[in-house]
Amino acid sequence: MLEGERSYQRGQENLVPRDNASSAPENPVIPKAQEKPWYIQHFTKLLISFGLGGGAVAILLPWMLWLHCGMSSGSSDQLRLHLLYVTGGIIAVLTLLQTNWKNQGDRFKIDADIKKNEQDAEKNERDHIRQVHAERRSRYTKAVEQLADEKAAVRLGGIYTLVGLVDEWLADETLDPEEQQKEGQVIINNLCSYSRSPFPLAEKIDEYEARQELKELESKKPDTLLPDESSKLDTLRKRFEDSAEYQEPDNIAALQAAFHEEQDVRRAIFEEMSKRSSKVSMGKNKKVTVTPGTWSTFGFDFSRAPIFYPLNNLTIEQGNFVSARFYGEADFGGAKFAGAADFRDAKFAGAADFGGAEFTGLAYFDYAEFAGGHAEFDEAADFNNAKFTGNANFENAMFAGDADFDGAKFAGAAYFGEAEFAGTADFDGAKFARAAGFGNATFTENAYFSSAEFTEDAYFRGAKFSGKTSFEEAYFEKCAPIFADASNSARFSAQVNPQEYLFEAHSESPHGFSCGEAKLLNRTFILPHGAVLFDPDSWDKEKRDYTRLSEPAQ
């Protein structure tokens, strides 16, 4: 057993009532003999004494008064009668006192019996709770052991058991909410830990499939390759150009079967979490509503996890994928991120599909604001129609393939400062409700912002455009786009066809482009005021800059 599991069990023992805890007394509390009042202790004696004494006085006193004092016969009879009344009254009072004391004793016994029964019931309830908790922990221990089983079905069973245990702890009314949360978080940590555990086979299968795809693409004639295939071929060749001679696994079929089984097992963790996560919906007013789920208060940590399985169409609560490694295609299509989505320093070895994904909180794909890395996309990154409710931070992100943000909606600020787009950057139809920053971004291939809508500031100062650039039908509500200031200017390649730089705002746009002419390499371009042309062939390694630049467009 792991040391962490021992600590967990020791911690749980402290939460369970001990067997030697105080319990109900075995015998009811009965008044002690010395606690009896004197008239109860001597009740019989008093009763006989008052009876005999009263009777004697009633007989002798009237007779003596008649004999010695000359009391009449009628008066002596009246006196005798009154003495008998007094004696009877005293005896009656004693009897009432004795009856009252006896009733009190009976009540004491009944109360003691009731108290004993209540204490017995409480003890039985504590014993039952102790038994339930012990049985629950036994199932937990067994489920954790199942996660290490060689059979995928057994591992999957362990996951479902752990998920069920979390639900049981949350529904346990014998615990306060803080204890429920603590018990559940321990199990959540186990599930997250399993998802972060290494799986070397993922890298082996990823390399095998990538090499198979490379072989298939190289078998085609260059002139028959589609644009996407050409880009893919270049990426794969670059990936394996320095690798040693590859030896294909002998038992690839068995390895692939084991690989797919583990994919199902690990995705099951996210599926069960998704069922219990927040519900993300959009009302009639187009406002995104996040309704907390039963697991929304837990913390989920998938940092450094090897992700080699699809996570599409799931709800992910507080997705922490810092330094995660994505093998093959990272499929988040249609996923909903409730809360922040943190992909800082994540590594995407293949295509990244975030098509139709919704980000309700902050989305981090940067390293400038947060120390510790950046997001890299080695192949295509698809954020087509993605929705970012909070700020989206892609500063210093590296897109080695095409980056598709076609129709994406940014409700918060969108930061792409110093991002590098090695492939086509498509922001056609994208909507920016807050500031959109592309300062010092690098667009190596084509950049499309056609029909994009900018509600607030749009910054392109210092951005470098090396391919076709289109802002046709773009809409600017608050102010015109900014391509230059006193210290920094956007740069456009002078080797691109001048007709492929299109700066034409929508006819109904409150603001548009203010353009002028810029000349370089005997060519004239129409660019936004302040922007400059550069010659890609004039790069100076020592100065780390281009030596042939035009005057700012004016």
What is the end-to-end Cα distance of the chain in Å, rounded?
74
**Please, which pLDDT band fits residue 378 given cuts at 50, 70 and 90?**
low
More reliable by pLDDT, 71 or 170: 170
Which residues is 404 bridged to in the sheet?
Answer: 382, 426
Sheet bearing 381-382, strands edge to edge: 330-331, 352-353, 381-382, 403-404, 425-426, 447-448, 469-470, 501-502
Q: 249, 261, 176, 242: which is closest to 209 by C-alpha?
A: 249
**Please, which pLDDT band fits residue 27 given cuts at 50, 70 and 90?**
very low
pLDDT of residue 471: 98
pLDDT tens figures, 317-336: 988 999 899 998 889 988 99
Question: Does the structure show a pLDDT above 80 at 372?
Answer: no
Can you give the residue ranges of every domain in the chain? Answer: 3-146, 305-546
Q: 143, 183, 189, 186: which is closest to 15 by C-alpha?
A: 183
**Please, which pLDDT band fits residue 12 given cuts at 50, 70 and 90?**
very low
Q: How far apart are CA 361 and CA 363, in angstroms?
A: 6
Question: Does the structure show a pLDDT above 60 at 375?
Answer: no
pLDDT of residue 144: 96
Residue 336, judged by CB atoms within 10 A of its CB (0-12, 13-18, 19+), counts as buried
Q: How far apart are CA 100 and CA 274, in angstroms?
A: 69
Q: How far apart are CA 437 and CA 419, in angstroms?
A: 10
Displacement of CA 548 from its chain's centroid (Å): 52
pLDDT of residue 28: 44
Q: How far apart are CA 458 and CA 480, in angstroms?
A: 8
Question: Does the structure show a pLDDT above 80 at 19?
Answer: no
Reading the block at residue 184, the tokens are 């559940």
Close Cβ partners of 454 (under 8 Å, ≥ 6 residues apart): 432, 436, 474, 475, 476, 477, 478, 481
Question: Does the structure show a pLDDT above 90 at 242?
Answer: no
pLDDT of residue 286: 62
Mean pLDDT over each residue of the chain, to the nearest integer: 85
pLDDT of residue 16: 37
Displacement of CA 217 from its chain's centroid (Å): 41
Q: Which span out of 106-115, 336-345, 425-434 was modeled with the highest average pLDDT? A: 425-434
As a whole number, mean pLDDT of residues 228-235 equals: 76
pLDDT tens figures, 329-361: 889 988 999 988 898 888 887 778 888 888 888
Which range has the worst mean pLDDT, 114-123, 186-195, 443-452, 492-501?
114-123
**Please, which pLDDT band fits residue 1 given cuts at 50, 70 and 90?**
very low
As a whole number, mean pLDDT of residues 274-281 equals: 91
pLDDT of residue 465: 98
pLDDT of residue 366: 60
pLDDT of residue 369: 28
Residue with tokens 């209540």: 118
Q: Are 428 and 404 in contact (CB under 8 A)?
A: no
327-333 long-range contacts, CB within 8 A, separation 24+:
327/202, 327/203, 327/205, 327/206, 328/206, 328/209, 329/353, 332/357, 333/357, 333/382
As a whole number, mean pLDDT of residues 267-275 equals: 97
